[in-house]
Amino acid sequence: MDAVTVKDLSYQYWSEGPWVLKNINFQVARGEMLVITGLSGCGKSTLCYCLSGIAGHRRDGVMQGQVLVNGKDVQELRAASLALEAGMVFQDPDTQLFSSSVEDEIAFGPENICLPPGDIRARVDNVLDLLGISSLMEANPYHLSGGEKHLVALAAVLALDPPVLILDEVMSRLDKQGVQRVADVLKRLRAAGKTIIAVEHRLETVTFADQLMVLAKGTLARLGPIETILADQEFLAAQHLTD
């Protein structure tokens, strides 16, 4: 069974509004990493919201088609159940952080699924160590830099240990060491069977991914092995994706 299956997906934010996604079809196998790219406003973040179930639960939104995560229809799952299937790191970490310390922020998810205190402690320590942010444990997330905030948001999602990760430009605010560290973490998570869907503009940071999807004006322009698409300079230039 594929980890993510998207069938005939279209989405508009309100019923009279434009179709932001138009008839998207694809699958992502378990343990695979898919990168989504395309010009600003082409629907990348909206697709992330659809995959994580957020878009389908918006009161004004209109979602057509179907998104299955681990075989479960995201529109039929409650938000709390969805968070255990697909964890999403938002493009803007300020929209995601709400606790007064990094430790509390990361512990929030595990506490809310009622893990024993020892397990919560272990998960918090593990993700802090994994992302190299143990020194920030007591800091207020709002006092951190943009890149540090993004690492905390990622840590909070990883602490819930969801099988599918949806990462919306999580590397954009990171310094070179941060990008390298997150890339290493993603490779390890993929090797451990996690399915990763990541939006990125800087494709040179994610060449280790398996698949690349190029979106253009809400439609799927191309999907295939990342090395094949990156080698097609003519296509990338036509999509305005070359440096």
Partner 1 sequence: MHFLELSQVNFHYPKQEKLALDNINLEIEQKSITAVIGPNGSGKTTLSKVMIGVFPATGGKILLQGDPVSELSLAEIGRSIGYVFQNPDLQLFCGTVAEEIGFGLINRGCEPDRVKEKVDFYLDYFQLAEYRNAFPLHLSQGEKQRVAIASVLAAEPEFLILDEPTIGLDTYRKKILEGYLQKIACSGRGMVLISHDMSFVNRLADRVIQMENGHIVDDGDWKGNNGYDA
Strand ranges inside 29-144, DSSP E? 33-37, 62-69, 72-73, 86-89
187 token code pair: 């490779």
Write down the least CB distance from residue 202 to partner 1, Å: 8
Neighbours of 143 (CB within 10 A): 10
Write down the least CB distance from residue 207 to partner 1, Å: 14
Write out the residues near partner 1 by the rule CB under 8 A: 13, 37-41, 44-45, 91-92, 94, 143-148, 151, 169, 172-178, 201-202, 240-243
Write down the least CB distance from residue 16 to partner 1, Å: 13
CA 150, 155, 160, 162 torsion-angle sign: positive
* 37 versus 195: smaller Cβ distance to partner 1: 37
* 45 versus 195: smaller Cβ distance to partner 1: 45
* 15 versus 40: smaller Cβ distance to partner 1: 40
* 112 versus 177: smaller Cβ distance to partner 1: 177
Q: What are residue 4's DSSP bridge partners? A: 28, 69
* 120 versus 186: smaller Cβ distance to partner 1: 186
Write down the least CB distance from residue 171 to partner 1, Å: 9
d(CA 222, CA 215): 7
Neighbours of 237 (CB within 10 A): 10
DSSP 86: E
Write down the least CB distance from residue 41 to partner 1, Å: 5
φ, ψ of residue 71 in degrees (nearest 5): 80, -5
